[in-house]
Structure 1
């Protein structure tokens, strides 16, 4: 709505980005992966688990366990707790809720963690029970899981805006090039556009390299007030602005835009910046078509100009539009709900100057987004955050 600019954040710091290196398969539980991330957070920040008084968790493979059970399991005693089951939008939602909680002094240090395991059969079982709305719609047609739904979205989007598979391939190929510089990425073989085009079909027009690879792993970060970070000697990034929206544009017959388009003015208005100020962008990339959709909805080009935008820009780390610099989920791997976090943790490393081999030169400010909860014709949840380095 016009005039609905959100209240800016009051000196909120996001710190200690953690990635627990992924494994293609794991016999460990999601609890084990989340526990490793929690331990890594304390080590990175130089604090103890007793200093954490807020906890937020996201996972697909915790079974019936939620955040409350994990507090006892990990020896946490917190005064603020959340369990966010929003799939690829979980990290942005966690960041927003945690930021307001520490701003209100409901907690001082909140650990936001996402992690999942990947047994040999766990992904199939997750898909079987992921969305009843989706399965009711697609099972009668012999389809199941996300590939069929995203094929429907991708075909409509490509037909509507004249997008070619080569255009989507440029996104996947650039991300693979970025992943080759990320020591934790699971995909370590170069990918050419020719290989992308020749890949076997999965659910037309979705082909092999359009799909993320499920794996096990965890991602995490801390949220606190600036005064808390200074007192503890923790260097963190500034949270400049965020947006979150669910079930946006419900009257669209098929998804060609997400909630970002509804709230984009608020995002940049709250942060006091514009799209051209971004030194890098980390989009949620379960499929390349969703990244292209976000280039438009996040204000980098107009709706329908995504293909031209991709053709006219270099999306690699050293290019003029660094995008998904870790390789993203398409080439680093999708560790379940941790896939929502990979863009945020990489964005934090970028603005803090600690990204190592994936570092964008002179990166000071950047954007990370989230997208999740697919049913048969659209993803229902979206969000984005703008982060800046401490010196910005």
Structure 2
């Protein structure tokens, strides 16, 4: 069912992309990581904490703190406060909410921050209480976590569409090549397709380099009016369009498509552009099959043709289809909910020509997609945005 025409995001911009370098393990709290990213974003904009009137937070490991508690601990007094508990979809969803708040005058400057810590037992603790579905359906049997779930999905995708492990490997190998240019990436060693194919199995058909590595870290950006960004002399990106969709295609027996398919025409329609106009693409990439699924669902090729499409593409920074230009989560690391921000923050750097060693030459339009909250057998949340150079 089509709703009313979507209002544009004219007059609202993104600025001050911040990535706090990731650590494999950390003794610091999520609170510390979020505070560090926030401080850096405000400093970059020349904004005092008391001037910040909007605050959006995404985190899995903030408990027992809350975004409400953070306002007190960090000395903030926002008139607009949000929490986005949507995992890998959270970056674009935070952007959408914040942009509308600024557009409506409910806030002048919104800091969107995602951060998580990674203690030795953080992942086990997260799994044990992730969702009621997971607790009831899998955890009592000693089965838990995304590796096994995405192994089933990957296997079904391969059977359905004829993709091979090498097809997924090309995504991982290209992202590692990109990560070698990104100073903050956790993975520092080159990866060959041969090494990918020979890696130790994790959950058939998934092997070591298909799996995202949990880390500690934080990402942030600011949302404000274009007039404010110009006045502050800040490089900024405009929002061509943005969508989100939850629990799409629930009738599918296994998830081989996501919610992007429902609203894709509106996304490109808002931006007045098409897939071929994008200078780079940042997909949510906890497993390569998910990236391939997004490339299809975002309109670059038909469903099931992702492997064929990518066989003819160079996904590195200097290639004809730059994808996950800082290595994505598969090579830079997954800092919890910040995994939903890493692609968006990198895209903001790209279209404002601030990406440094990962810069795609002449990048003016970037497509970012998010995918989050696997609830036993499928990711429930999906989002996407098009960022444009000023």
SS at match of 1:253: coil
Are 1:351 and 1:389, in contact at CA under 8 Å, matched by a contact in 2? yes
Does 2:91 correspond to 1:91? yes
Structure 1 residues 53, 3: closer, same or farther in 2, change over 3 A? Answer: closer
Q: Partners of 1:38 and 1:228 in 2: how far apart?
A: 19
Aligned runs of 1:239-254 on 2, under 5 Å? Answer: 239-254=239-254
Structure 2 CA distance, aligned partners of 1:379 and 1:200?
26
Question: Paired residue for 2:196?
Answer: 196
Match of 2:185 in 1: 185
Query: SS state of the match for residue 138, structure 2?
Result: helix
Tell me which residue corresponds to 1:323.
Answer: 323
**Counterparts of 2:157 and 2:262, CA distance in 1:** 18
> What is aligned with 1:311?
311
5 Å matches for 1:128-167?
128-139=128-139, 142-167=142-167
Q: Taking structure 1 as the reference length, what is the TM-score of the superposition?
A: 0.98
Unaligned residue ranges in structure 2 (runs of 5+): none
Could you tell me how far apart the structure 2 residues matched to 1:164 and 1:4 are? 42
What are the superposed Cα offsets for residues 69-96 of structure 1, whole Å, 9 maximum, x if unpaired? 1001111110100011111111111000
Q: Alpha-carbon deviation of 1:140?
A: 5.4
Distance 1:6 1:154 in 2: 35
Q: Distance in 1 between matches of 2:235 and 2:177?
A: 30
- Aligned partner of 1:349 in structure 2 is 349
TM-superposed deviation, 1:104: 0.1
Q: Deviations over 1:140-193 (max 9, x none)?
A: 554211111111111111111111111000000000000000000010000000
* Inter-partner Cα distance in structure 2 for 1:102 and 1:165: 45
Q: Summarize deviations over 1:328-356 as a string: whole Å, max 9, x none.
A: 00000001111100000000000000000
The answer to whether the 8 A contact 1:286-1:330 is kept is yes
In structure 2, the partner of 1:15 is: 15
Cα RMSD of the aligned pairs, angstroms, is 1.1
SS at match of 1:369: strand
Query: In the TM superposition, what whole-angstrom CA distance separates every residue of 1:178-221 from its partner, at most 9, and x where no partner exists?
Result: 00000000100000001111111111111110011111110000
Cα deviation, residue 2, structure 1: 4.1
Using the alignment, how far apart are the partners of 1:347 and 1:159 within structure 2? 33
Change (3 A) 1:43 1:214: same
Distance in 2 separating the partners of 1:343 and 1:9: 20
- In 2, Cα distance between the equivalents of 1:65 and 1:140? 28
After superposition, residues 223-242 of structure 1 pair within 5 angstroms as 223-242=223-242
The 5 A counterparts of 1:241-320 are 241-320=241-320
Pairwise CA distance, 1:228: 1.7
1:309 and 1:5 map into 2 onto residues whose CA distance is: 32
Secondary structure of the 1:270 match is: helix
Counterpart residue number, 1:385: 385
User: Which is worse superposed, 146-155 or 291-300?
Assistant: 146-155
CA distance in 2, matches of 1:313, 1:23: 32
Q: Is the 8 A contact 1:316 1:323 kept in 2?
A: yes
* CA distance, structure 1, for counterparts of residue 164 and residue 376 of structure 2: 23
Unaligned 5+ segments in structure 1 are none
CA contact (8 A) 2:200 2:208 kept: yes
What's the offset of the Cα at 1:43? Answer: 1.4
Structure 1, 106-115 or 199-208: larger mean CA deviation = 199-208
**In the alignment, what sits opposite 1:111?**
111
TM superposition shift of 1:233: 2.2
Q: Report the CA distance between 1:4 and its aligned residue.
A: 4.9
Alpha-carbon contact 1:5-1:269 (below 8 Å) kept: no
User: Separation in 2 of the partners of 1:309 and 1:332?
Assistant: 25
Q: Would the aligned equivalents of 1:179 and 1:187 in 2 still touch at CA under 8 Å?
A: yes
2:334 match: 334
Deviation track 1:255-294 (CA, whole Å, cap 9, x = no partner) reads 0100001111010001111100000000000100000000
Check the 8 A contact 2:128/2:139 in 1, yes or no. no
SS in 2 for 1:136: helix
